[in-house]
Amino acid sequence: MKKLLIVIGALATLPTFAQKKETNSNELDDVIIQGNRIQTPFSQATRDIQIITQAQIEQLPVRSINEVLSYISGVDIRQRGPFGAQADISIDGGTSEQTLVLLNGVKLIDAQSAHNMMNIPVPLSAIDHIEILRGAAARIYGINALTGAINIVTKTEDHPSLTVDIQAGSSFKNKEQGDGDGIYKGGAAELTGTFGSGAFNNLLSASHSDYNGQRYNSASKSTRLFYNGNYNIDTNNTIQAMAGYARSHYGANGFYAAPGDINSAEIVESSVFSVSSRHRFGNFMLSPRISDRYGEDDYRYFKDDLSKARSLHYTNALMLELNSSLNTGIGVIGLGWESRLEKISSSNIGKHSRDNHGAYAELRTGIGEKLQGTVGAYANYNTDYGWQVYPGIDLAYLLDAHWKISASIGSGERIPSFTDLYLNQLPGNIGNESIQAESAWNYEGNIQYNKQHLKIQAGYFYRIISDFIDWVRADASEPYSPINFGKNKIQGVYGRIQQDFSLGSKQSFSYHVTYNYLHPIIDRTTEIQSKYTLESLKHQFTTGINYSINHLSFQLENRLLKRELAEAYDVADLRANYQFKRALIYMEVNNLFDAKYTEAGAVPMPTRWFGLGVKFRWSK
C-alpha cells in the first residue's frame, strides 16, 4: 500500500505541460442523468453525483455490480460472498434499508428486506453507466432514498452488436474437508446483444455463474435474463419496455445466525417489468409508466431438512407513475405523481399490504450563466403513516470555466420494511408494529475543479435521521427487535482526484485517489444493546492507477477500509487487458496480497483469486 501511494504521489507531480491523452474529455459531461423527473446533463448537475461508465467498468478487476460499486467513494458494499452473491449496500454511513437502487429509473425496493435489493438481472456487459447520488433525495426519487440512490442505466444502441464474455478462475487452494473435493474454482458467461434499427432497437442479455465456494457450504449459482426495448414512433413519441429475471442460490453459512447456520442455504428470485412512454407537445413533456417488481426468498436454516426452520417470503410491488416537464421562460418545471402498491405473503411475517402515493413539483432554473439551481418538494401519503412533505434545494455557482461550488439541502423518508414490522422468528428476531418511519435532513457543500484531464472535488456533509430504526435487545437472552432508537447524526468529509496523461502516441497513464471520512453521533434513548448502529465505515481510502501501451493495459486498484468497531483491512486487485482485433483477453488477480477480512455477517471473504477471461465483441 505504501509503495502504491509513493508511486501515485510521484506521478501527480508530472509537469503540467505534459501532452494529454487523446480521448474525449467531455464523455461524462455528455451523460444525461436519468432521473424520473427533470433530466439533467451531467455537466449541469447541481449536487454530488458520481458516474461510472461502461469503459471504466471494463478496466476494473470485477465480475459483478457489487464489486464495481465497492470502488465508489461513499458507497459501502458488505458482501456475504464474492462474485455477485448476496450483498447489502449503503451510502455514507446509512443502513442498507436507507439506500435506494433503481434499474433504468424503476425502483428495486424489496418490501421484505433490503438484503435482496441487489439481486439485479443485468450483467456488466449490458450496462451503459451507473449514477450514484449521495444524500437524502425524496424530491428526486421519492421514498427510501434516505441516504442516497444508485441508478443502473442499460445500453441503448441503434445498430446490431453482440458481446460474449467468458471467464473462469481459481484460488488454487483446496476446499475444506467435507465440502467436496478439489480446489476452490468457478466461472461465468455473459451474452449481450442489440438488434433493430434507428427507430426500433432492443437489448437482450443472459448470464450464468457457478462457484463451488471458498469454504464449507458457500457455493453460489446465479442466472440473469434481461430485455430492454425502445420504439421511436416519431420525433415526439417513444415507447420503452423492460423485463428482467434473476435467480441466486447460495450456501448461507454465516450469513445471519452464525455459528448455528453452518448448514443454511438461501434461494432468491426476483423479476422486474416496465412499460413506459414519452410524448412531447411543444415545450411540454409527458411520461407515464407502469412497472412491477416481484420477489421470492426461500431461506433454509437446515438445507437438508426442510420440515423445520424454513422461511418463505413472496413480495410484490406494482408501481404507477406519471411524470411531466414544461420548458418556460423561468426554467424547467417538473410535476408528477407516483403510486406504489406493496404486498407480502410470508411464513414468518404473515400476509400484509400497504399503498404509497407521492406527488412532486420542482423547478430547475438559473440566473445568468453562473448560478444554477433546482428547488422542489415531494409530498408522500402512506396508508400506514399518513402524509409527509419533503422539500429540497440544490444550488451551483460557476466561479470560472474550471471551478464550481455547490450546496444542497435535502430531506427524505424511509418506510419500515415488512420485516421491521411483522417478523416473528423467535427466539431470534421479532418485529415491532409500533415503529414509525425514519426521516432525514441532509446538508452538503462541495467544490469542484475540472480542467481538461484533471478533476478534483472535495466536500462536507451533515445528516440528521430522526426516529432512526435499529434492532436492539436488553441482553443476550432476549430476541432482537426494532425500535425508533433516537437521532442518528453523521458528518463526513470527502475528497477525490482523477488525472490522466499521454506518454506519447502509443502510451497513456491515469490515476485516481478518493478518501471518505465519517463521524457518527447517536442520540440514544436508552443504553440497550444495538445490532447495527456502529457498523458504518469510518475511513474509506481508494486508489487506482492505469497504464496502457498499444493494445495492452494494466489497472491496479486498492481499497483501505476501517469500520467503527472492526479492524482495518486493505485489499488490492489487478487486471490486465489485451485487445486483439474483436477479442479482449483479460487476466485478474483479486486480493493480490492475500488479506484476511470480513464484510458482513460471519463470512470471511476469499483469499487470493486468479481469473482469466475473453470478451468477444462484434458490431455492424
pLDDT in tens, 55-91: 999 999 998 999 999 999 999 999 988 887 888 999 9
Question: What pLDDT is recorded for position 81?
Answer: 80
pTM for the structure as a whole: 0.91
Please tell me the distance from the alpha carbon of residue 442 to that of residue 242, in angstroms, as a whole number.
Answer: 33
pLDDT bin (cut points 50, 70, 90) of residue 211 is: very high
Q: Which three cell numbers stand for residue 400?
A: 470560472
pLDDT bin (cut points 50, 70, 90) of residue 528 is: low
What is the average per-residue pLDDT within 19-31?
47
Tell me the pLDDT tens digit for each residue of 274-286.
999 999 999 999 9
Residue 518 has pLDDT above 90, yes or no: yes
Residue 119 has pLDDT above 90, yes or no: yes
Question: What pLDDT is recorded for position 439?
Answer: 94
pLDDT bin (cut points 50, 70, 90) of residue 42 is: low
CATH of the domain at 34: 2.40.170.20
Question: What pLDDT is recorded for position 43?
Answer: 59
Tell me the pLDDT tens digit for each residue of 375-384.
999 999 999 9
By percentage, how much of the chain surpasses pLDDT 70? 90
Domain count, the chain: 1
Tell me which of 31-40, 148-157, 452-461, 479-488 is least confident: 31-40
What contacts 280, CB < 8 A, 6 or more positions away? 235, 236, 237
In a 3-state reduction of DSSP, which class is residue 403? strand
Question: What pLDDT is recorded for position 272?
Answer: 97
pLDDT bin (cut points 50, 70, 90) of residue 37 is: low
Residue 25 has pLDDT above 50, yes or no: no
pLDDT bin (cut points 50, 70, 90) of residue 34 is: low
Tell me the pLDDT tens digit for each residue of 148-165.
999 999 998 878 999 999
Q: What is the DSSP string of 438-487?
A: EEEEEEEEEEEEEETTEEEEEEEEEEEEEEEEEEEESSTTS-BEEEEEEE
Mean pLDDT of the chain: 88
In the chain, how long is the greatest CA-to-CA distance? 72
What is the average per-residue pLDDT within 234-250?
96
What is the average per-residue pLDDT within 499-503?
90
Decide which of 4 and 579 is more confident. 579
Full residue range of the structural domain in which residue 60 is found: 2-619
Q: H or E segment at 74?
A: none
Residue 175 has pLDDT above 60, yes or no: yes
Residue 28 has pLDDT above 90, yes or no: no
Question: What pLDDT is recorded for position 38?
Answer: 63
* Residue of 210, 240, 203, 241 whose CA lies nearest to 225: 203
Question: What pLDDT is recorded for position 220?
Answer: 93
End-to-end CA distance of the chain: 44
Please tell me the distance from the alpha carbon of residue 419 to that of residue 383, in angstroms, as a whole number.
Answer: 17
Tell me which of 339-348, 399-408, 467-476 is least confident: 467-476
What count of other Cβ atoms lies within 10 Å of the Cβ of residue 582? 12
How does 186-208 read in b/e, with b if 16+ C-beta sit within 10 Å?
Answer: bbbbbbbbbbbeeeebbbebbbb
Residue 6 has pLDDT above 50, yes or no: no
pLDDT bin (cut points 50, 70, 90) of residue 182 is: confident
Question: What pLDDT is recorded for position 568?
Answer: 92
Q: Which amino acid is present at 196?
A: G
Decide which of 356 and 503 is more confident. 356
pLDDT bin (cut points 50, 70, 90) of residue 1 is: very low
Q: Which amino acid is present at 140?
A: I
Question: What pLDDT is recorded for position 390?
Answer: 94
Residue 602 has pLDDT above 70, yes or no: yes
Question: What pLDDT is recorded for position 474?
Answer: 78
Q: Kindly list the distances between the CA atom of residue 342 and the CA atoms of 104, 145, 320, 352, 518, in Å, as whole numbers in the listed order.
A: 20, 17, 12, 8, 34
Question: What pLDDT is recorded for position 27?
Answer: 56
Residue 524 has pLDDT above 80, yes or no: no
Decide which of 186 and 24 is more confident. 186
Look-up: residue for cell 434461494? 267
Tell me the pLDDT tens digit for each residue of 296-315.
999 999 999 999 989 999 99
